[in-house]
Amino acid sequence: MSENQKKIWITGASSGIGKAVAEKFAREGWKVAISARRKEILDKIAENQNISSFPLDVTNEQDCKNVFEKIIQNFKNIDVCFFCSGTYDPKKEKEMNIEQNKFVMNVNYFGTLNCVKVVEKYFKEKKGGHISIVSSIAGYRGLPNSSGYGPSKAALTNFAESIYFDFKKFNVRVSVVSPGFIKTPLTDKNEFNMPFLRSPEFAAEKIYKGFIKSNAFEIHFPKQLTLLLKFFRILPYKIYLFLIDKGVKR
Ligand X SMILES: NC(=O)c1ccc[n+]([C@@H]2O[C@H](COP(=O)([O-])OP(=O)(O)OC[C@H]3O[C@@H](n4cnc5c(N)ncnc54)[C@H](OP(=O)(O)O)[C@@H]3O)[C@@H](O)[C@H]2O)c1
Instruction: Tell whether residue 210 is a contact of ligand X (CB under 6 A).
Output: no
Q: How far apart are CA 87 and CA 103, in angstroms?
A: 9
With contact defined as beta carbons under 8 Å apart, do 153 and 134 qualify? no
Q: Is the dihedral of CA 228, 234, 240, 241 positive or negative?
A: positive
Compute how many residues bind ligand X; rule: CB under 6 A: 31
For residue 141, the minimal CB distance to ligand X (Å) is 14
Which of 7, 8, 9, 14: binder of ligand X (CB under 6 A)? Answer: 14
**Which residues are known catalytic residues?**
149
For residue 229, the minimal CB distance to ligand X (Å) is 11
Residues 6+ apart with CB under 8 A from 153: 108, 135, 136, 138, 139
Instruction: Tell whether residue 181 is a contact of ligand X (CB under 6 A).
Output: yes
Q: How far apart are CA 86 and CA 12, in angstroms?
A: 7
Site for ligand X in 78-137 (CB under 6 A): 84-88, 107, 111, 134, 136
The type of residue at 236 is P
Which among 152, 22, 162 has a CA at the least distance from the CA of 80? 22
Q: Which is nearer to ligand X, 50 or 114 (CB)?
A: 114
Instruction: Tell whether residue 16 is a contact of ligand X (CB under 6 A).
Output: yes
For residue 83, the minimal CB distance to ligand X (Å) is 8
Give residues in contact with ligand X (CB under 6 A).
11-18, 36-38, 56-59, 84-88, 107, 111, 134, 136, 179, 181-182, 184-187
